[in-house]
Amino acid sequence: AQKSPHRGKLESWLRRLKEAFYDAEDLLDEHEYNVLKAKAKSGKGPLLREDESSSTATTVMKPFHSAMNRARNLLPGNRRLISKMNELKAILTEAKQLRDLLGLPHGNTTECPAAAPTDVPTTTSLPTSKVFGRDRDRDRIVKFLLGKTTTAEASSTKYSGLAIVGLGGMGKSTLAQYVYNDKRIEECFDVRMWICISRKLDVRRHTREIIESAKKGECPRVDNLDTLQCKLRDILQQSKKFLLVLDDVWFEKSDSETEWDLLLAPLVSKQPGSRVLVTSRREMLPAAVCCERVVRLENMDDTEFLALFKQHAFSGAKIKDQLLRTNLEHTAAELAKRLGQCPLAAKVLGSQLCRKKDIDEWEAALELGDLSDPLTSLLWSYEKLDPCLQRCFLYCSLFPKGHRYRRGELVQLWVAEGFVCSCNLSRRTLEEVGMDYFTEMVSGSFFQLVPERLYSYYTMHDILHDLAESLSREDCFRLEDDNVTKIPGTVRYLSVHVESMQKHKKIICKLLHLRTIICINPLMDGASDLFDQMLHNQRKLRVLYLSFYTSSKLPESIGELKHLRYLNLVRALISQMPRSLCTLYHLQLLWLNCMVERLPDKLCNLSKLRHLGAYPYYFHGFVDERPNYQVPNIGKLTSLQHIYVFSVQKKQGYELRQLRDLNELGGSLRVKNLENVIGKDEALESKLFLKRRLKELALEWSSENATDILHLDILEGLRPPPQLSKLTIEGYKSDTYPGWLLERSYFKNLECFELNNCSLLEGLPPDARLLRRCSRLHIKNVPNLKELSYLPAGLTELSIHKCPLLMFITNNELGQHGLKENVMKIDDLTSKLALMWEVDSGSCIRRALSEDCSSLKQIIMTLMDDDISKHLQIIESGLEEGGEKVWMKENIIKPWLFCHEQRISFIYGRAMEMPLVLPSGLCSLSLCSCSITNEALAICLGGLTSLRNLELKYNMELTTLPTKGVFEHLAKLDRLFVSGCLCLRSLGGLRAAPSLSFINCWDCPSLELARGAELVPSNLDRYLNIRGCILSADSFISGLLDLKYLSIDSCRSSPSLSIGHMTSLQSLHLVGLPDLYLVEGLSCLRLKFLQLVDVPNLTAKCISQFRVRVSLTVSSSVLLNHMLMAEGFRVPLNLYLLDCKEPSISFEDPANLSSVKCLQFLRCETESLPGNLKSLSSLESLHIGRCPNIASLPDLPSSLQRI
């Protein structure tokens, strides 16, 4: 057909067919809208099933027949649709004539692709790409990047550049990635950045992307270029050396050198040797790149190229037929010779052939035209795609080159556009079928996975993007240039990459067939301007992805978009939703930002809604999903796939039975306020067991008033689906488990089980096989829990919190009076508790005693001892009254010691031991407010060679951590958190832990920390936080040479502490230290972050010796002014005043604050800010939080951008 002289006729016929089909689909959509509207007004359920709803089909005949079948039921007055159907039918009758004219074979129809029966594979299972034939090039480039710095470069602390140049598809980006991820590069450059330029340089956008890449996080939405550049310069000034990769640079003679100078102007570093690595198809590059060397990418060795091709062509299932394998090997060699040494073509063609290991198919590829042109093989691979996938591929041209595609987001767009075939769904959702499409395109190398630490995304090669763009010109258009004066009238899908659509109002209003508007970047237009002026004519819109920050209210006119399926307002400041939103009866997806507080009451009319959620917008995607809204009569939304929180209420529209028909729910569901459920019958009505897509379920009672019997009946009726991976039960008040938790094989794959605030349960479900696959077990506030009769063998994570009747003790310790005395040491403990009480009004001790009261209460109920009960009442009343008086301190400490002594006697007087025996694969262990003795802890930790995290909180029986021999075997232990263990006196053999990098030691006043730095591992390098302890002068006198973060908070100490030998220290926090006068060795430190809060006795001489580069936090302007007057002191860019109690704050010498860019006042009692703030000439950001006495602001500097 491509070479036929009748090609013009075919193209004309296809164009008429497409337009007629789109028109018919729109009319059918309107009819369907009217049906849904009538149903909504009548209050009945949805009329149409998912597989009956209109969508653009993959073949011509199937949707035609489907549409005609539905058209038979139309009212006689709906003539437009019937007329359009007849027109479509007439066009279709021409197909036979054209087929004969073109000589096409009969019976060549395409069916919808069959839905795969298996689950969609996750991206993590995709094979890691191997790089062929570029080791030598990589080493050459790495050698240059690590090479000696020239004299000129060293004097300017700037950078030098290297360019990788080659034809499209040669593997320039792959080679750059190979270099970028080389270990030698990672070790040499402390900041590495990667951005893709792709044709058009946008200085503001690309500067923002460099910042995001450097920080590995979001760059605030700032449009001022100077601000962005200063921010980038500040980041890079903290680096020793940086590497910046500029991928896919296009530079013409006519391009502006000035823009490139602007982009690269902020590139400075402290040391010489920074580099810029460029990939480009041309050797002509902007002068600002400072390119000293060009690496021209040569063809790969034939053997390596063949290996690359075969890597993709022969992946997947092994070919058992040796003859077939031999023939395919021979054909592969022939194909590789003709591919023009283009790695991209080898990758895409090989991936396509891999799907069908058929010799005829492979030999047919040999008959293609010029395979040395990459587009030949890429076009052939595209044509082999199913028509559904072809449309999905072309749709990707809406996004700019270098775009980071999110799998879930793209699939939901495909579904909304009607690209995903709805036939043969069986029990699968359209999204699952769409995920299959995406996976198939990844396996065909149309997308490449880019794994990241916090998120992963996909990219598309520029040549593939060019192909998609060339094939979709009639339908898709990217508005990227304010100079555009015309958009083809046939365009149905539009993406906007300009600051304002107002400038293009006239040409956009002419796009009467427009179905999609996607805003890539925020618009400066207001919502009313968009809807009332521009979108007034775009009544066929199905997808609206908006981004603007100038309006808070969505106009009522949104309700006129009858065809709308997808509305995304995450990147808009919209906080008010109009009532007309509830008339968008076709709407499938509604994504909002977290500023929207409530939704219109009739949202339940949107019977086709599949996704509803509120999200904050962060760097390149969505994170930290917020709870869903409470929608009255949500049970009508039977297509909904997520409800993150459902709160049962005793009013119409919020009953538990609203969940009955929501059988498409997936992900996680939290059902709250189950005390509002009447009984078992209402619980059964929810039919939770039918929700087979649900993965996580939490069942929660919030009230203490319901009876035990009712709780059991309700939980019995809330039988969950057996495929759950996580189950949480909270607030349950019965001592009996429901029947479904007694069935040994009920759950197929339960990985996590949580019990929280279940006051009457005494053990886990009795049958161990119920939790046989469980890897995470969390038990919190189950005060009657007396034993753990078993633990799942595959457990990796265990937390036991507030279970005071769990008393772990060994036979060796039972009945030993001497051990009891050792735990108590009453005189020593009394004096240390009293000493710590004087710090911070006794908050540390109060916190620990308050946590311990609930444990003591439960033991009192067991012992039935009135004397203990009276002492406990004294403690509780003292904690409630507060105060700092001596009598109040003694009123609390002495009664607690009495209660604690009775508890120790009770534990050591038990008749039987209860060891804690844990599975050897455990990685995380948390024991909080449960009783465990020294020896029991040592035994339970003994074999945990996989343990990474250990948390011990409010365990009052512990006096020492295990010995050196135990810690030596904890080879993977990385984090230790010890808190509120009031009797703990020794860290035991902690120093022997080989991998420990993070220690929190809080509220342990008995702990002996003389030469404390020698008690922790000498290689501790990340984090040490000590709070609520007693320090001596030699606590830090040696050791900790590699430590980067040290925090000392609310401690008693000697007048001086020495930390000068900790030369690796970057962050120092000294908070609430009333005894501290001097910190020795400050001249040896080069701190990045310093916090001095509530250290009232630090001498002026000591204060003047502090030096800090990035951030300074103080609680006193007097202390700050001492620093400002010190010779050689430079204020860092960020200055914070925290918990300042002075009535007024003054800056005595504002000239010394001229470098401050960010100033923050938080939790200050001051009544006025410094009057000379206007003198802070570089100040860009001012933040004032929780400062209730500040009534007015002084004059502010003109440089201020955010307040």
For residue 548, what is the enclosing H or E element? Answer: strand 543-548
Range of the domain at 28: 7-102
At residue 1089, the pLDDT reads: 94
Q: Which amino acid is at 91?
A: I
At residue 585, the pLDDT reads: 95
Quick check: is 655 in a domain?
Answer: no
Residues 292 and 305 occupy one common structural domain: no
Residues 319 and 208 occupy one common structural domain: no
Residues 397 and 249 occupy one common structural domain: no
Quick check: is 1157 in a domain?
Answer: no
Here the tokens at position 899 are 């209660």
Residues 207 and 272 occupy one common structural domain: yes
Mean pLDDT by 10 residues, the chain (1203 residues): 60 77 82 87 56 42 51 54 71 66 52 40 39 86 83 62 85 88 88 83 85 76 75 81 89 77 83 88 85 86 83 78 82 81 80 78 75 76 87 94 90 94 79 91 84 76 90 92 87 90 84 91 75 77 85 87 93 87 95 85 93 63 52 93 91 94 93 93 95 95 71 95 96 93 90 94 90 94 90 94 92 72 75 85 83 83 76 81 57 86 84 87 95 93 94 94 94 95 93 94 91 83 93 86 93 92 93 94 90 93 90 93 86 93 85 87 92 89 93 89 82
At residue 824, the pLDDT reads: 63
CA 295/CA 743 separation, integer angstroms: 67
For residue 672, what is the enclosing H or E element? Answer: strand 667-672
CA 963/CA 985 separation, integer angstroms: 13
User: What are the contacts of 589-597 at 24+ separation with CB within 8 A?
Assistant: 589/412, 589/416, 589/565, 591/567, 591/615, 593/569, 593/617, 594/626, 595/552, 596/569
The C-alpha angle 302, 308, 311, rounded to 5 degrees, equals 140
Residues 241 and 346 occupy one common structural domain: no
b/e map 181-208, b = 16+ CB within 10 Å: ebeebeebbebbbbbbbbeebbbbbbbb
Quick check: is 1 in a domain?
Answer: no
* Nearest Cα to Cα of residue 562 among 580, 576, 550, 547: 580
CA 79/CA 66 separation, integer angstroms: 18
Residues 290 and 341 occupy one common structural domain: no
Quick check: is 1098 in a domain?
Answer: no
Strands 516-519 and 543-548 come out as parallel
Residue with tokens 């060397």: 293
Quick check: is 1001 in a domain?
Answer: yes
* Nearest Cα to Cα of residue 603 among 572, 646, 637, 573: 637
What is the DSSP code string of 1064-1083?
T--EEEEES-TT--EEETGG
Task: Compute CA 977 distance to the chain's CA centroid, rounded to the nearest angstrom.
Answer: 25
Looking up residue 197, the CATH number of its domain turns out to be 3.40.50.300
Among candidate residues 451, 484, 516, the one where a domain is terminated: 451
Cβ neighbours of residue 183 closer than 8 Å, sequence gap 6 or more: none
Residue with tokens 């019958």: 681
Q: Do residues 343 and 308 touch, judged by C-beta distance below 8 A?
A: yes
Cβ atoms < 10 Å from Cβ of 451: 11
In total, how many domains does the chain have?
4
Quick check: is 680 in a domain?
Answer: no
Quick check: is 166 in a domain?
Answer: yes
At residue 939, the pLDDT reads: 93
At residue 823, the pLDDT reads: 64
Q: What is the DSSP letter of 1110?
A: E
Residues 43 and 157 occupy one common structural domain: no
Among candidate residues 296, 314, 331, the one where a domain is terminated: 296
Among candidate residues 417, 451, 485, the one where a domain is terminated: 451
Residues 86 and 143 occupy one common structural domain: no
Q: Which amino acid is at 503?
A: K
Residues 155 and 262 occupy one common structural domain: yes
Residues 306 and 421 occupy one common structural domain: yes
The β-bridge partners of 1136 are 1113, 1160
End-to-end CA distance of the chain: 65
Residues 446 and 326 occupy one common structural domain: yes
At residue 838, the pLDDT reads: 83
Quick check: is 1113 in a domain?
Answer: no
Q: Which amino acid is at 1033?
A: A
Burial of residue 1140 (CB within 10 Å: 0-12, 13-18, 19+) is buried
CA 377/CA 825 separation, integer angstroms: 82
Q: Do residues 648 and 685 touch, judged by C-beta distance below 8 A?
A: no
At residue 961, the pLDDT reads: 95
Here the tokens at position 529 are 């301007």
Residues 265 and 335 occupy one common structural domain: no
